[in-house]
Chain A
């Protein structure tokens, strides 16, 4: 297991290096750079004529005139060695300060959603498979098709409407008024959790529906395996038997798609965030691109891909732990 983990860890680091290069390249793709944008902002409408030399000077001030390879090495070096993600030009401060809390809140939404997805879909999927062809099973199937059919921004609106109407609660945003600017404390974390369930619910909705069907299918297969009958024939009590034998293998496809789920949540988050009035990274990323504020965009892209790569690593390790044939096949 140790060797398998180390191999995967090396693989993860190599992936991260390649990803960081790609992220940097993507940042370079839009025509022009922040020097153009800066000059335009500062001088448009003032009547002052700008020459190519002036822009060159600005470019030099921002350090954007150096060759791309050098800038990449500087950029990644500072991130790895000093945790310094560079300058956020448009905000005239460090990228870290701009992203800061938004990154943590995005992570909170992400992990809240993942946790909710798996805690709900795995037990329900197993239950549906065990009670196959019962009323409960059919009910759950209808529910999950509904889940797959309903777009989540619509669900977000519906939820918002009902939450306000029924509970009179202000659940837009991630904090209550007054809490948003308070410093981190237990009360603030609790406030966050109270607000987090709604976006987590909205984002988890379709994944839960999908994963219930996955688990139900694999669990049904596993339940028919001879090894389950054999364990029953040895007198293993039913609940323990279900968890130890079929369920352990049935959650395999869910574990192996953790990375996809993270990816999906990141892509769906911005639109849900707009509806629910959340502060998260997606909107910032979009604006950073519009402003050609490349280090902000780069930092966000790097963070998101980093999370996906790490979650894939965790998913690999979990898979090998769930099914020892995987790591043995590897050696």
Chain B
């Protein structure tokens, strides 16, 4: 339903043009969840903002990029050609693709009630009156597990608890019935117990509404619970992509392997965690060659630091950008 090809994103800054996202491709299948994992600064958030044409004024999407979206009526369009303004992109925002954010408090306007913002969204995308819109909104609040929705709908965001606000925000994003939901670290700011509840809720909602979903997180543990497919991002490129099971159990890229080793687990309580050494470089100091070679334990000197690895197939729907798989990859491809 969403197919992104060769997406690069650049920003005009005082220091010149920087390109935090370079040539990424991914796909969301209808009714399935794509997880995007990566450290902060890896470009996962702005990639999905680009899908909604929500980049700030100095952001540029590369011309050759294709953001192909199939809408509810089956029509295919290239979002990259729609531009940032106008009726066509506004119909997609909220109506076709919903978005939820990490900070529920900050993404609600504090000066309007939950209901006001929901009714506004519903009426923008559905041809219904104020009363019907309110009825739909109450139904949606009920669906996300908010008790006493008839009263809650008239509350302001600051009158709710953190978990409840996150539920309300999911209801807000879903109120206009989008076919695809982009969730940008929706559970990161929550307590672990509430995190599990919200994850459960999102999985159930996705099944009930048969939505496609992009779930952004830096937590591989969360991905293994919710995503069907996963794309691992490092410094603006997708280093590995494939079905979640495969990527978690047979990680092909040294970065993915490092992420899994760095994951705390109750079974390995007494082992020390193995962090990936070093920090993620800033996008305007991107290393030459493979962007990960500065932190990789398997760097091949003279190759990884000079040449950009190509995308290689290592299994069914499982691809990786790494020289270590060069021979093996060629064999299967």
Q: Which residues of A contact B (CB under 8 A)?
A: 225-227, 229-238, 244-245, 248-249, 322-325, 328
Contact = CB atoms under 8 A, between A and B. Distances in A.
A303 to B, nearest CB: 35
A183 B120 CA distance: 52
Contact of A235 (B95, B106, B107, B172): B95
B298 to A, nearest CB: 39
Nearest to B52: A233
Contacts of B270: none
Contact of A225 (B95, B106, B176): B106
Interface stretch (B27-35, B86-94, B133-141, B214-222): B86-94
6 contacts: A226-B101, A227-B109, A234-B124, A236-B120, A244-B112, A325-B158
A256 to B, nearest CB: 15
Interface string B146-165: 00000000001011000000
Contacts of B99: 230, 233-234
Contacts of A227: 106-110
Which of B52, B94, B95, B108 has the most chain A CB atoms closer than 10 A to its own CB?
B94
Given A236-B120, A324-B156, A230 B111 contact: no
B121 interface: yes
Nearest to A321: B111
Given A225-B106, A232-B54, A234-B124, A323 B94 contact: no
A107 B246 CA distance: 77
A229 B111 contact: no
Given A226-B103, A229-B54, A325-B158, A249 B111 contact: yes
A236 B54 CA distance: 12
B91 to A, nearest CB: 7
B325 interface: no
B125 interface: yes
Given A238-B85, A324-B156, 19 more contacts: A227-B108, A227-B109, A227-B110, A230-B107, A231-B109, A232-B54, A234-B94, A234-B117, A234-B121, A234-B173, A235-B91, A235-B92, A236-B121, A237-B90, A244-B112, A248-B111, A323-B111, A328-B158, A328-B159
Q: Top 10 closest A-B pairs, CB basis? A: A234-B94, A235-B94, A230-B107, A235-B93, A226-B106, A233-B99, A235-B90, A227-B109, A234-B121, A226-B107
A51 B33 CA distance: 103
A153 B95 CA distance: 57
Nearest to A234: B94
Given A230-B101, A232-B54, A238-B85, A325 B110 contact: yes
Interface of B: 52, 54, 85, 90-95, 98-99, 101, 103, 106-112, 117, 120-121, 124-125, 156, 158-159, 172-173, 176
Nearest to B111: A323
Contacts of A237: 90
A231 to B, nearest CB: 7
A328 B113 CA distance: 13
A245 B110 CA distance: 9
A286 B282 CA distance: 66
Which secondary structure dominates where chain A touches chain B?
helix
Contact of A328 (B95, B121, B156): B156
A235 B121 contact: yes
B162 to A, nearest CB: 15
Contacts of A324: 111, 156
Contacts of A225: 106
B101 A322 contact: no
Contacts of A322: 111
Contact of A245 (B92, B98, B109): B109
Nearest to A230: B107
A235 B126 CA distance: 12
A234 B93 contact: yes
A236 B117 CA distance: 10
Contacts of A234: 93-94, 98-99, 117, 120-121, 124, 172-173, 176
Nearest to B158: A325
Contacts of B156: 324-325, 328
Contacts of A232: 54, 93
A321 to B, nearest CB: 10
Contacts of A229: 54, 101, 107
Which of B111, B117, B120 has the most chain A CB atoms closer than 10 A to its own CB?
B111
Contacts of A325: 110-111, 156, 158
A244 B90 CA distance: 17
A244 B109 CA distance: 10
B56 to A, nearest CB: 9
Contacts of B93: 232-235
Nearest to A228: B109
A133 to B, nearest CB: 9
Contacts of A248: 111
A233 B109 contact: no
A140 to B, nearest CB: 18
Nearest to B108: A227
Contacts of A236: 90, 94, 120-121, 124
Nearest to B113: A324
Nearest to A252: B111
Nearest to A229: B54
Nearest to A246: B109
Nearest to B92: A235
A237 B121 CA distance: 11
B110 A233 contact: no
Contacts of A226: 101, 103, 106-107
Which of A227, A249, A325 has the most chain B CB atoms closer than 10 A to its own CB?
A227
